[in-house]
Structures are given as structure tokens and as C-alpha cells.
């Protein structure tokens, strides 16, 4: 019953329980992998790259190791952009920290090559603090949020550190 999946939605909510009305506990961004731990109907209990677990509707992900999942993995990181799928013409906005699909063309905003991440986001305390201030200024509070579109304190901290190559647990406690 277990397996892997990659988030295909710009932002996929992770719920406390396997139902839409359940509280959001975290999020995963486009192109990020999740481990599928359990299936209940259209719901998947998943574990993110940070070890955090929650329930996600299967519509937010591409499961398995097939071509569709490989298509979502790319080495371009969104710094906040609007992309258009070169095949379907469908456009979508991607938040800071999402991975672009290989067939995504950037319409507006910016991206960096994944290999340039260390240069763009150096591993120093001053640089990490600067990213938190510069990239998250004006971010609305959202319980479980992890992007400049909405974040809580743990999500903001975790994402800012992740951009700089430092992994932190989801919750500060």
C-alpha cells in the first residue's frame, strides 16, 4: 500500500484527517516528493521530505515512478513565477520553493537552476535572516502554510532555512 508521489498542484494542503473539512496541518509545494503511507478512498496519508505526516487528496499528486511523475521533477526552482505548460497551454502560478515541471515555460517572475541554489541562497545566518525578511515580508498568516502566499511561524522558518540547504523539522516544539 505504500509508494511515492510528487505534488502536481501549486500548493497541496496536508490535512489532520482524511476529509476536506479537517484542519490543514502543513502544505507541500509543486514538484516536491511525498511518501504514501496509507490509502483511504481518495485520500492518502503521506510523509513529506521533512518527515511530517498528514492526509492529502490524491488529486494533488502524481503517484508512482512513471513518466508523469518524472515529468514533474526538474531542477528549476521557483522564486515566485507564472508558468505555462508548453504542451497543454495551461498556466499556473508557483510560489517560492516550488519545483517547475520540465515542460513549464516561465511567463513572468523568476526561477533559478537547482544547481545555483547554494549561490543564490548561501548558508550563513545573515543570508537566511535576509531571505526570511525579503521574501516573506507582508505574508499573511495561515495555519500550516509554508510559502509567501500564506505561512505560519514554523513554515516560514522551515522554508527560509530549506532554501539555504538547511533541513529543519516542521514544528518548533
pLDDT tens digits for the chain (173 residues)? 579 999 999 999 999 999 999 999 999 999 999 999 999 999 999 999 999 999 999 999 999 766 555 555 558 999 999 999 999 999 999 999 999 998 999 999 999 999 999 999 999 999 999 999 999 999 999 999 999 999 999 999 999 999 999 999 988 66
* The pLDDT of residue 74: 53
Q: How many residues does the chain have?
A: 173
Do 59 and 10 share a domain, yes or no? yes
**Using CA of residue 22, residue 100, residue 97, residue 148, what is the dihedral sign?**
negative
Provide the β-strand partners of residue 85: 104
Residue 171 in any domain: the answer is no
pLDDT given at position 55:
98
Q: Let me know if residue 170 belongs to a domain.
A: no
Report which secondary-structure segment, H or E, holds 24: strand 24-29
12 and 40 in a single domain? The answer is: yes
135 is a domain residue: yes
Looking at the fold, whether 20 and 63 belong to one and the same domain comes out as yes
In a domain, 109, yes or no: yes
State which H helix or E strand residue 132 sits in: helix 125-136
Strand partners, 76: 113
Please give the Cα distance from 6 to 62 (Å, whole number): 5
Domain count, the chain: 3
* DSSP code at position 103: T
Q: How close are the terminal C-alpha atoms of the chain, in Å?
A: 31
**In this predicted structure, what is the pLDDT of residue 64?**
78
Helix (H, G, I), strand (E, B) or coil at 154: helix
Range of the domain at 150: 121-163
Q: Do residue 20 and residue 56 come from a single domain?
A: yes
Does residue 86 sit in the same domain as residue 56? Answer: no
Amino acid at each position: 500500500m505504500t509508494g511515492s508521489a510528487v505534488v502536481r498542484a501549486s500548493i497541496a494542503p496536508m490535512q489532520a484527517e482524511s476529509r476536506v473539512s479537517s484542519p490543514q496541518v502543513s502544505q507541500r509545494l509543486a514538484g516536491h516528493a511525498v511518501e504514501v503511507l496509507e490509502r483511504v478512498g481518495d485520500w492518502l496519508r503521506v510523509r513529506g521530505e521533512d518527515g511530517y505526516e498528514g492526509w492529502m487528496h490524491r488529486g494533488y499528486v502524481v503517484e508512482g515512478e512513471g513518466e508523469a511523475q518524472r515529468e514533474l521533477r526538474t531542477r528549476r526552482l521557483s522564486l515566485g513565477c507564472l508558468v505555462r505548460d508548453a504542451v497543454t497551454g495551461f498556466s499556473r502560478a508557483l510560489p517560492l520553493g516550488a519545483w517547475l515541471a520540465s515542460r513549464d515555460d516561465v511567463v513572468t517572475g523568476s526561477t533559478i537552476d537547482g544547481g545555483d541554489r547554494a549561490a543564490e541562497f548561501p548558508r550563513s545566518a545573515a543570508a537566511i535572516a535576509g531571505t526570511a525578511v525579503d521574501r516573506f515580508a507582508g505574508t499573511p498568516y495561515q495555519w500550516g502554510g509554508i510559502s509567501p502566499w500564506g505561512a505560519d511561524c514554523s513554515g516560514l522558518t522551515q522554508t527560509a532555512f530549506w532554501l539555504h540547504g538547511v533541513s529543519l523539522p516542521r514544528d518548533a516544539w
